[in-house]
Amino acid sequence: MRGMRFPVASVVAMLADGMSPQDILTEHPDLELEDVSEALKYAAAALRERQLPLRRSA
Protein backbone atom coordinates (compact mmCIF):
# COMPACT_ATOMS: atom_id res chain seq x y z
CA MET A 1 0.00 0.00 0.00
CA ARG A 2 1.32 3.39 -1.03
CA GLY A 3 4.75 1.85 -1.48
CA MET A 4 4.66 0.40 2.03
CA ARG A 5 5.48 -3.20 2.76
CA PHE A 6 2.18 -3.87 4.46
CA PRO A 7 0.24 -6.82 3.03
CA VAL A 8 -3.28 -6.19 1.81
CA ALA A 9 -4.15 -9.64 3.15
CA SER A 10 -3.22 -8.51 6.66
CA VAL A 11 -5.65 -5.58 6.53
CA VAL A 12 -8.43 -7.76 5.13
CA ALA A 13 -7.77 -10.42 7.80
CA MET A 14 -7.94 -7.83 10.59
CA LEU A 15 -11.28 -6.62 9.28
CA ALA A 16 -12.53 -10.20 8.99
CA ASP A 17 -11.47 -10.81 12.59
CA GLY A 18 -13.76 -8.00 13.70
CA MET A 19 -11.37 -5.07 13.96
CA SER A 20 -12.81 -1.74 12.92
CA PRO A 21 -10.86 0.49 10.54
CA GLN A 22 -10.16 2.78 13.49
CA ASP A 23 -8.77 -0.18 15.49
CA ILE A 24 -6.43 -0.95 12.60
CA LEU A 25 -5.28 2.67 12.35
CA THR A 26 -4.64 2.80 16.09
CA GLU A 27 -2.60 -0.40 15.99
CA HIS A 28 -0.75 0.59 12.80
CA PRO A 29 -0.32 4.38 12.83
CA ASP A 30 1.56 4.41 9.50
CA LEU A 31 -1.67 3.42 7.75
CA GLU A 32 -4.41 5.84 6.76
CA LEU A 33 -8.15 5.27 6.42
CA GLU A 34 -7.82 5.34 2.64
CA ASP A 35 -5.32 2.45 2.88
CA VAL A 36 -7.96 0.28 4.55
CA SER A 37 -10.50 1.18 1.88
CA GLU A 38 -8.01 0.53 -0.93
CA ALA A 39 -7.10 -2.86 0.58
CA LEU A 40 -10.75 -3.91 0.37
CA LYS A 41 -11.07 -2.63 -3.19
CA TYR A 42 -7.93 -4.52 -4.21
CA ALA A 43 -9.13 -7.74 -2.58
CA ALA A 44 -12.52 -7.43 -4.28
CA ALA A 45 -10.90 -6.87 -7.68
CA ALA A 46 -8.58 -9.84 -7.17
CA LEU A 47 -11.53 -12.10 -6.39
CA ARG A 48 -13.50 -10.85 -9.39
CA GLU A 49 -10.64 -11.99 -11.61
CA ARG A 50 -10.87 -15.58 -10.37
CA GLN A 51 -13.35 -18.06 -11.68
CA LEU A 52 -14.37 -20.57 -9.05
CA PRO A 53 -15.71 -23.90 -10.25
CA LEU A 54 -19.24 -24.68 -9.15
CA ARG A 55 -19.78 -28.07 -7.60
CA ARG A 56 -22.81 -29.97 -8.70
CA SER A 57 -24.88 -31.45 -5.95
CA ALA A 58 -25.57 -35.18 -6.12
What is the rounded distance in angstroms from the CA atom of residue 42 to the CA atom of residue 58? 35
Q: Which comes out higher in pLDDT, residue 7 or 57?
A: 7
What is the rounded distance in angstroms from the CA atom of residue 48 to the CA atom of residue 31? 25
Residue 58 confidence (pLDDT) above 70 = no
Length of the chain: 58
pLDDT digits (tens, 9 = 90+) for 9-44: 999 999 999 999 999 999 999 999 999 999 999 999
Q: Say what the alpha-carbon torsion angle 8, 11, 13, 19 is, to the nearest 10 degrees.
A: -170
Confidence label for 51 from pLDDT (cuts 50, 70 and 90): low
What is the model's pTM? 0.77
The pLDDT assigned to 48 comes to 83
Q: How many CB atoms lie within 10 A of CB 32?
A: 14
